[in-house]
Amino acid sequence: MKVTFKIWRQENSKTKGELKSYFVDGITEDMSLLEALDHLNEKLVLKGESVIAYDYDCREGICGQCGVFINGRAHGPHDNITTCQLHMRSFKDNDTIIIEPWRAKAFPIVKDLIVDRSAFDRIIEHGGYISAKTGTAPEANAILIPKEVSDKAMDAAACIGCGACVATCKNSSAALFTAAKLNHLNRLPQGKAEQHQRVREMTWQMKEEGFGSCTFTGACEVECPEGISITNIAELNARNILSNLLG
C-alpha cells in the first residue's frame, strides 16, 4: 500500500509552520495510522531527516494523547474512535492523508503534531477531584446510588481528555470536557459536599485558560470519541447558575 502523507511541521508555537508531503510505501492495511507514522519516521531517520513529533501513550483508545485532525476531521473519518484505533484499511491505495494538530489558542503547539493540553490539567486542579478522605474502598452496595444516577456519572467519567471537543468547536470551547469532569463528581454522593465550589472554580479556570464560550452547536458531541452528550453542558449551565446564586 502506498500513500502520501501531508503533515504539519512546526518547530514550536513561535515559528511558522507548513504542510509537508511524504510519499510512503510498504504500508499494510492492518497497520494503525500511528504505526504508519512510525514507519515513516524510520525512513526519515535513515535519511538523516528530522522525525515527525506526535503524541501517543496507551495505543488502546483510553489515554487521550493521540488526538490530531485527519483529512479535516478530529481523530479521522470514523465516529467514536481515537487516532490510535484508526487503521490504514480506512484509506485507499495512493490516497493523500492530511494530518494536522489541534487548533486552539489554549492548546499552543509544542512541535509538529504535539500541542500543550496542560490547560485541561489546570481545570482539574481547580476542583476536579474529591478532597474528603474516604478511606479504603467501601463494599459495593454500602452507598446506595440509583442506577440512573450512577449510569450518568459513569457516562461523564468516560471523558479521556483528548481535546477533540475543543479542536472541533468553532469557539474552541472546553465546555464539554469541563462539564463531563464536573458532572461525574457532582452526581455522586461523595462529590456533593463541594459541588457548588467545584462548579465556580472549574468554570472560572476554564475561562482563565482562554477557552471560548459554548454556543451549543453540538460539534463537540459529534467528534467526541467517547460519545459524551452535550446534555452535560446544559447541566453544567444549570449548576453554574445555582452555584452563583448560592454564593
Residue 155 has a pLDDT of: 95
Average pLDDT estimate for 167-188: 96
d(CA 223, CA 221): 6
Phi, psi (deg, nearest 5) at residue 105: -60, -35
Helix axes 118-125, 175-186, angle to 10 degrees: 30
User: Among 67, 86, 77, which residue's Cα sits nearest to residue 166?
Assistant: 67
d(CA 130, CA 191): 6
Q: How confident is the model at residue 145 (pLDDT cuts 50, 70, 90)?
A: confident
The answer, yes or no, to whether residue 151 has pLDDT greater than 70, is yes
Residue matched to cell numbers 450518568: 152
Q: How confident is the model at residue 247 (pLDDT cuts 50, 70, 90)?
A: low
- Cα–Cα distances in angstroms (integers) from residue 53 to residues 50, 102, 111, 147, in the given order: 9, 14, 6, 43
Domain spanning 3-100, CATH architecture: Roll (3.10)
Is the pLDDT higher at 142 or at 124?
124
User: Domain coordinates of the chain in residue numbers?
Assistant: 3-100, 118-246
d(CA 242, CA 12): 42
What does DSSP assign to residue 228?
-
Domain 118-246 belongs in CATH node 2.10.50.10: no
Residue 196 has a pLDDT of: 93
pLDDT, tens digit (0-9, with 9 covering 90-100), for 89-111: 999 999 999 999 999 999 999 99
Q: For the chain, count helices (H), then strands (E).
A: 8, 7
d(CA 59, CA 100): 19
d(CA 207, CA 212): 7
What mean pLDDT, rounded, does the chain reach?
A: 94
